[in-house]
Amino acid sequence: MDGERCLAAGWWSAALLDRLMPLHLVLDAGGRVLSHGPTLGRIFGGAPLRGRAFLDLFALRRPAGLRGPQDFAALAGQMLRLVPRLPGAPVAGEDADWQDATGQDATGHGAGHEDEAGFRLRGHILALPAPPGPAGEAGGDGGDGQAAAWIVNLSFGIDLPRAVAQLQLTDADFAPTDLALELLYLGEANAAVTGELRALAQRLDDARRQAREEAETDPLTGLRNRRACDSMLARLCREGAAFGLLQMDLDFFKAVNDGLGHAAGDHVLMHVANVMKSSSRAGDCLARVGGDEFVMLLPGMTDPTALRHLAERMIALVSQPIAWQDSQCHVSASVGFITVQAGEAADPSDLLAEADMALYSAKNAGRGRVAQAGEPPPPPRAGAAAAAGG
């Protein structure tokens, strides 16, 4: 009795197999489709499959080297990996890259959609034994060990989500024992949780940036504070970068504070901050490191003449009368600066000390002056009130 007759005789109930294994095929001894499960039919868009050769419908990726149905017995029990050969898709050889065979969408619509890159199947093939027939028929099955028919059962495996999207499958397309729905559930639950964690990480990162920004900012002037300045100076020194360090101290600031009050003093400090901002570039570090002390770190700026000009321009701007309510504030500034050449590997505290010494010599030269570290102090300014408070 051949497979066709077994099926016709109800030896295997097709309905039973359909319910148990919606993704199965029953093949005759020659490898042609006798029947198949409903979900398997959906892969081929409902096209009639009966009578088609199994190996025309699927490209077998593993194991390789299959010659034809005569080798099915050797495959029994092994894991098969295969891809459907869909209408219109190039028919790929068994050893071709699987994507060659599955670049097409079985349902034929929505081409170009990302989900429709195709899907792989896995499964196994087993022999279906012939029913015990009348004695006279026993030899008609093809002899010892010869199967009357084959059954192939398949699963979407890890490509399940893609197959579900592409074939628009529902829970009715799976056997109740199938874990497919749990896998889909897990995928979505994972995405939801991961999305939530990503959002949390983003919010925490924003908060961290803001906290850091606040920790490194002088709240009055919006300039960097000493902590930020120290850390950038340390980094520049560590990297052996070339830069200029400029230290600026206000002159006569105490007089403003004492005479016009702290609000006027704050106003002056904000004005000075604006002068510094308008005189600098984006990558410079402008910091207020003390009451009326400022530091500028200027990466790449090692030309003493340019630094001196910059300092003189700022002093000139700061020395303009600053309007405050009905009166005017008069301050000036003294600047000491130092340059560091590339690869010098200077020590941050030495640099600050040297810049400080230059600043002192500028102050001693009579306020409103600029001095470079290691150079002779500027000549005293005629008529400078050397005793005035800074």
Partner 1 sequence: MYGLLLRSIQAYLRATFGTALWGRVLRLADLPPEGFEPMLSYDQPMLDRVLQAAGAELQRPVESILEDVGTYLVADPEQRSVRRLLRFGGASFPDFLHSLEELPERTRLALPGLDLPQITLAEIAPGQFRLSCNCSFPHLLPVALGALRAMADDYGALVLIDPELACGPASAGGVLRVQLLETAHGRGRGFALAGGEPSNGW
Asked if 133 interacts with partner 1 (CB under 8 A), we say: no
Binding partner 1 by CB under 8 A: which of 78, 99, 146, 194? 194
Shortest gap between Cβ of 42 and partner 1 (angstroms)?
13
* 205 near partner 1, judged by CB under 8 A: no
- 110 binding partner 1? (CB under 8 A): no
Angle at 191 between CA 186 and CA 193, to 5 degrees: 95
Q: Tokens representing 160?
A: 């399940």
**Closest by Cα among 332, 294, 295, 297 to 316:** 332
- CB closer to partner 1 out of 189 and 263: 189
| Amino acid present at 389 | G
Question: Exposed (0-12), middle (13-18) or buried (19+): which is 170, by Cβ within 10 Å?
Answer: exposed
> Do 378 and 370 form a contact (C-beta atoms < 8 A)?
yes
End-to-end alpha carbon distance in the chain = 114
Cβ–Cβ < 8 Å for 155, 23: yes
**Position among 168, 278, 341, 349 found at the interface with partner 1 (CB under 8 A):** 168
Number of residues that bind partner 1 (CB under 8 A): 28
Q: Which of residues 2-61 bind partner 1 (CB under 8 A)?
A: none
Site string for partner 1, 311-350 (x = CB under 8 A): ----------------------------------------
Q: Which is nearer to partner 1, 168 or 349 (CB)?
A: 168
Q: How far is the CB of 171 from partner 1 (least distance, A)?
A: 5
Choose, by CB under 8 A, the member of 4, 94, 115, 312 that binds partner 1: 115
Cis peptide before 63 (omega within 30 of 0): yes
Give the residue, chosen from 185, 214, 349, 381, that forms a contact with partner 1 under the rule CB under 8 A: 185
Phi (first) and psi of residue 361, to 5 degrees: -70, -30
* Segment contacting partner 1 by CB under 8 A, of 124-132, 198-206, 241-249, 310-318: 198-206
Q: Is 117 in the site for partner 1 (CB under 8 A)?
A: no
114 binds partner 1 (CB under 8 A): no
**Closer Cβ to partner 1, 137 or 206, answer by number:** 206
Give the single-character DSSP code of 209: H
Instruction: Note the maximum CA span of the chain.
Output: 136
Query: Does the annotation count 292 as an active-site position?
Result: yes
Q: Is the CB of 189 or the CB of 353 nearer to partner 1?
A: 189
Nearer to partner 1, 184 or 242 (CB): 184
Q: Which residue has the tokens 């130092």?
A: 338
Q: Determine phi and psi for 152, rounding to 5 degrees.
A: -115, 125
Q: Which stretch binds partner 1 (CB under 8 A): 27-35, 57-65, 199-207, 252-260?
A: 199-207
**Is there binding between residue 197 and partner 1 (CB under 8 A)?**
yes
Q: How many CB atoms lie within 10 A of CB 382?
A: 6
255 touches partner 1 by CB under 8 A: no
Q: Is 181 in the site for partner 1 (CB under 8 A)?
A: yes
Catalytic residue among 292, 303, 326, 356: 292
DSSP 74-96: HHTTSPEEEEE--TTS----TTS
The answer to whether 22 and 176 have CB atoms below 8 angstroms apart is: no
172 binds partner 1 (CB under 8 A): yes
328 Cβ partners below 8 Å, 6+ apart? Answer: 321, 322
66 binds partner 1 (CB under 8 A): no
Query: What positions carry a catalytic annotation?
Result: 292
